[in-house]
């Protein structure tokens, strides 16, 4: 096995090694807390239903916050986001350790703090996964992902065992303090680590483009009311151009096709009459009548300028627009 393909390849990079070690220690603390919280609940209230709620309070945040956590990891600077999350974890964990130490623990605050600690932990998960590519080069990324999985499973095995040993040797409060202290390693690591800066390309924000709705499309002519969810809808736009303008016309029409798709069309195309040169028909399909009405609302002043570039090739007054809707019994 080559060094590059070895599962240990990621540990050649000091930053990854330090972060991996710190997260392992932190995760061990989390699992120690989980074991201790279940143990504590049995001494506070031995009702099986109440004891089972500890696990529910611990697992629920994963389902509740998985999607928002992924969005936050994309929106915010990952390092700064993790610093805030891990600091919150440390504060909440230390606060409940003090509550247990002072003898104020009860089933209600145990469930509440278990939920809170699990929530901040769940909010950090996607960000930790997303930060891995910043710790190792691309060639060692598979090894880093494997090492992280090993670390999670290792902490899951060690945490409850060490939690039980700490309770037996130091008392029930020990795992709660250890969990709070274990996060200090992660906080220190994140403060120490400085991601390498890159000559980053930013998406254009549309500066100078008028995205104000133009509302210049006339309302479709209908003979009777149409149910909003009926569809699909076929729209045709017939142009009459000079045959010698064909290539220039088709080139000008391409941005219109992009506009139709952006505004909701799932199919777009242009056809030319084989019997009458210069007769061109643009077609596009949308899912429903409501979706087509929304297209009328979405069209912008910038879109209007694009369409005007096409219509200057039109020989008659204006292109002929026709609407068709799927016929159903």
Higher per-residue confidence, 94 vs 65: 94
Question: Residue 198 pLDDT more than 70?
Answer: no
Question: What is the bridge-based pairing of β-strands 279-286 and 320-325?
Answer: unpaired
Give me the half-sphere count of Cα atoms (radius 13 Å) on the Cβ side of residue 217: 20
Distance from C-alpha of 75 to C-alpha of 84, rounded to nearest angstrom: 14
> Quick one: 67 and 145 in the same domain?
yes
Q: Provide the pLDDT for residue 279.
A: 94
Render pLDDT for 36-92 as a digit per residue (tens, 0 to 9): 888 889 888 888 888 888 888 888 888 888 788 888 877 888 888 888 888 988 999
Q: What is the band of 208 on the pLDDT scale with cuts at 50, 70, 90?
A: low
Q: Kindly state whether residues 133 and 237 are assigned to the same domain.
A: no
Q: Is residue 204 part of a domain?
A: no
Q: pLDDT tier at 207 (50, 70, 90 boundaries)?
A: low
Q: Mean of the per-residue pLDDT values for the chain? A: 86
Which of the four pLDDT bands, split at 50, 70 and 90, describes residue 276?
Answer: very high
- Give the separation between CA 30 and CA 33, rounded to whole angstroms: 5
Q: Tell me, yes or no, whether 148 lies in a domain.
A: yes
Residue 321: pLDDT band with limits 50, 70, 90: very high
More confident residue, 10 or 98: 98
* Same-domain status, 177 and 244: no
- Same structural domain for residues 183 and 240? no
Q: Would you say residue 196 has pLDDT above 70? A: no
Q: Give domain status of residue 224, yes or no.
A: no
The domain containing residue 188 runs over which residues? 9-192
Least confident of 78-87, 129-138, 151-160, 314-323: 129-138
> What CATH number did the domain enclosing 179 receive?
1.20.1250.20
Contact 63, 191 (CB under 8 A): no
Residues 26 and 153 in one domain: yes
Structurally, the chain folds into a number of domains equal to: 2
Q: Classify residue 327 by its DSSP letter.
A: -
User: How far is residue 326's CA from residue 238's CA, in Å, rounded to a whole number?
Assistant: 20
3-class DSSP state of 324 = strand
Task: Give Cα separations from 320 to 190, 224, 235, 280, 302 (angstroms).
Answer: 63, 20, 10, 11, 22
Q: What percent of the chain shows pLDDT beyond 70?
A: 93
């Amino acid at each position: 096995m080559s060094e590059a393909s070895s599962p240990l390849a990621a540990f050649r990079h000091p930053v990854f090694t330090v972060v991996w070690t710190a997260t392992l220690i932190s995760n061990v603390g989390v699992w120690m807390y989980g074991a201790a919280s279940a143990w504590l609940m049995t001494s506070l209230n031995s009702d099986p239903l109440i004891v089972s709620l500890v696990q529910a309070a611990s697992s629920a945040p994963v389902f509740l916050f998985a999607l928002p956590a992924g969005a936050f990891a994309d929106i915010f600077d990952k390092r700064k986001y993790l610093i805030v999350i891990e600091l919150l974890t440390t504060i909440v964990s230390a606060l409940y350790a003090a509550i247990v130490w002072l003898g104020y623990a009860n089933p209600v605050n145990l469930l509440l703090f278990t939920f809170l600690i699990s929530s901040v932990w769940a909010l950090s998960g996607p960000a930790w996964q997303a930060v891995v590519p910043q710790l190792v080069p691309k060639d060692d990324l598979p090894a880093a992902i494997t090492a992280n999985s090993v670390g999670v499973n290792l902490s899951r095995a060690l945490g409850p065992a060490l939690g039980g040993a700490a309770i037996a040797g130091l008392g029930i409060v020990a795992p709660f303090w250890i969990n709070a202290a274990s996060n200090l390693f992660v906080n220190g690591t994140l403060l120490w680590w400085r991601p390498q800066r890159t000559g980053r390309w930013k998406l254009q924000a549309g500066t100078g483009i008028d995205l104000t709705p133009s509302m210049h499309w006339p309302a479709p002519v209908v003979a009777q009311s149409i149910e909003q969810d009926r569809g699909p809808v076929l729209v045709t736009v017939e142009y009459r151009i000079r045959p010698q303008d064909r290539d220039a016309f088709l080139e000008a029409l391409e941005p219109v096709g992009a506009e139709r798709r952006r505004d909701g069309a799932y199919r777009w195309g242009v056809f030319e009459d084989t019997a009458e040169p210069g007769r061109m028909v643009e077609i596009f399909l949308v899912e429903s009548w409501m979706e087509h009405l929304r297209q009328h609302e979405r069209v912008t002043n910038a879109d209007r300028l694009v369409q005007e570039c096409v219509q200057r090739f039109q020989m008659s007054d204006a292109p002929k627009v026709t609407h068709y809707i799927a016929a159903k019994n």
